[in-house]
Amino acid sequence: MVLLLQSPLSLSPPSTQSLLLLQSPTTTRFHHSVFPIRRRLGRRRRRRRRKPISLSLENNVRKEQVVVVGAGIAGLATALSLHRLGVRSLVLEQSESLRVGGTSLTLFKNGWRVLDAMGVGDLLRTQFLEIQGLVIKSQDGRVLRSFMFKDESDGQEVRAVERRILLETLANQLPADAISFSSRLATITRTETGETLLQLDDGTRLLAKIVIGCDGVRSPVAKWMGFSNPRYVGHCAFRGLALYPNGQPLEPKVSYMYGRGLRAGYVPISPTKVYWFICFNSPSPGPKMSDPSALKMKAQELVQSWASDLLDVMENTPDDTIIKTPLGDRWLWPVVRPSVSAGGVVLAGDAWHPMTPNLGQGACCALEDAVVLSRKLAGALKGGGENVEEAFKAYGRERWARIFPLTIRANLVGSLLQWENPAGCAIRNNIVIPYLVKLGPLLEHTNYECGLLN
């Protein structure tokens, strides 16, 4: 039996006003009309976009070799990996600045290998505590099992990393002009020459040889390529960051608590901050909650009778750090799945393979994607660019073999841990966890090595 050993990750989704890309990647002719994505456009902008788009290189068409859509973890990691390999890229970010909302994510040794390959591992290690072990408890605080990571998984390295600091660290390693903020994609069109025309909301047009979609779980680029939206798996998560200005009192261990259809956990990430989560069953994602105090109150209500250590962590959490997100994934079934690439357009990270956070591998896999894709793409470009499509196919084959089983496994683990049946929960807490769970095999996937940037 498989058992969850990781908390939900925090990855902020795109705005609900994200674009709908309307031209198919199989288009062979350059269409003379495109449709704007956002519904609420001024009359003046609508008139401008109804004009035919010409392929002539006018002054307002900017040519780029590589454009990365999205300045999240996958996008910045891909841009940085390409930069390390001598390939310039332009990152388009729809927000006015880095989207540093969200809380924390946990990186295992496979994620740290990638950060080391990018040259930023040590910059981050100094800011976050190394997590030494794992404690599993019942909702009343009774210890069911405990592990030490290095005893169970050879060479394991586990640290919870604040998402804001990870993004800023990656971005700071890029050239000053590498990220274009306030650059919301409006349309994407394939040209007769095989290049991709990107039109932004402000009317800017970019003609790119290569487009890398790293635009999140509801990726417009992925939708243009034929992918469906992620499937809601029946669970939602609250997440928050507790602050202890005078120092947090916890051991450097992950603490998990399991109830019926409800689980929670917390982990110290630095001397003054503690990340926590609550995952609960819900037949639907429910209405979006934006009131910070209401979010905190709802989260506290779910676990009001649970162990006091969890409640203390939540009490020390500023309202504005709490978020609620539905959990979803996309299973990339063989044969029937769309291709990861279409001509000069390719996907990476959550845009391609959103997964539930039950194995703690969403961010780690996005980082792996960045290295593998950049290495293959840079090799093709330095060879003259004729083999870019083959490089994308090789990337897709290599990464699919890694991603597909992990996505399914994460989903199944979450389903087991969200049991509501009293008898099943009793068996889990009194037999499975205390006597049958072995941490080493459950962390086997963290032994994966995606290679270096060379």
How confident is the model over 145-194, as pLDDT tens digits? Answer: 999 999 988 899 999 999 999 999 999 999 999 999 999 999 999 999 89
CA distance 136 to 254: 8
For residue 105, the number of C-alpha atoms closer than 13 Å in the C-beta half-sphere is: 29
- pLDDT value at residue 107: 97
Q: Tell me the per-residue pLDDT of 387-445, one tens digit each, with 9 for 90 and over.
A: 999 999 999 999 999 999 999 999 999 999 999 999 999 999 999 999 999 999 999 99
CA distance 263 to 277: 8
Grouping H, G, I as helix, E, B as strand and the rest as coil, residue 30 is coil
Q: Which two tokens stand for residue 103?
A: 């809380």
Round the average pLDDT of the chain to a whole number and report it. Answer: 88
CATH number of 60-102+166-230+331-410: 3.50.50.60
pLDDT for residue 213 is more than 80: yes
Domain 105-161+235-328 in CATH 3.50.50.60? The answer is: no
What mean pLDDT do residues 22-26 have?
42
pLDDT for residue 5 is more than 70: no
Q: Tell me the per-residue pLDDT of 281-311, one tens digit each, with 9 for 90 and over.
A: 999 998 888 888 999 999 999 999 999 999 9
- The pTM of the full predicted model, rounded to 2 decimals, is 0.87
Q: Which of 95, 373, 342, 84 is nearest to 216 (CA)?
A: 95
pLDDT for residue 26 is more than 50: no
Q: Which of 44, 342, 90, 350 is nearest to 201 (CA)?
A: 44
CA distance 68 to 178: 10
Burial label, 166 (beta-carbon count in 10 A; 0-12, 13-18, 19+): buried
Q: Which two tokens stand for residue 317?
A: 């959490």
CA distance 355 to 256: 20
Q: Which two tokens stand for residue 424?
A: 């099943």
**What are the residue ranges spanned by the domains of the chain?**
60-102+166-230+331-410, 105-161+235-328
- pLDDT value at residue 20: 34
Q: What letters, b where the CB count within 10 A reaches 16 and e where it falls short, cover 38-55?
A: eeeeeeeeeeebeeebee
CA distance 44 to 54: 19
What mean pLDDT do residues 237-242 have?
96
- Beta strand 205-213 with 61-69: parallel, antiparallel or unpaired? parallel
For residue 435, the number of C-alpha atoms closer than 13 Å in the C-beta half-sphere is: 5
What mean pLDDT do residues 209-221 have?
97
Cβ-contact 115, 128 below 8 angstroms? no
Cβ-contact 339, 49 below 8 angstroms? no
pLDDT for residue 30 is more than 60: no
CA distances from 122 to 112, 286, 296 (A): 9, 41, 34
**One-letter amino acid for residue 368 of the chain:** E
pLDDT confidence band for 3 (50 / 70 / 90)? very low
Q: Which two tokens stand for residue 428?
A: 């889990």
**Strand partners for 200:** 185
194: left (phi over 0), alpha (psi -120 to 50) or beta: left
Q: Which of 348, 359, 446, 454 is nearest to 76 (CA)?
A: 348
- pLDDT value at residue 59: 55
**One-letter amino acid for residue 408 of the chain:** I
CA distances from 9 to 161, 227, 276, 326, 354 (A): 10, 23, 10, 12, 12
Cβ-contact 92, 187 below 8 angstroms? no
Do the domains 60-102+166-230+331-410 and 105-161+235-328 sit in the same CATH topology, yes or no? no
Instruction: Choose the weakest-confidence range: 48-52, 300-304, 356-360.
Output: 48-52
CA distance 257 to 280: 12
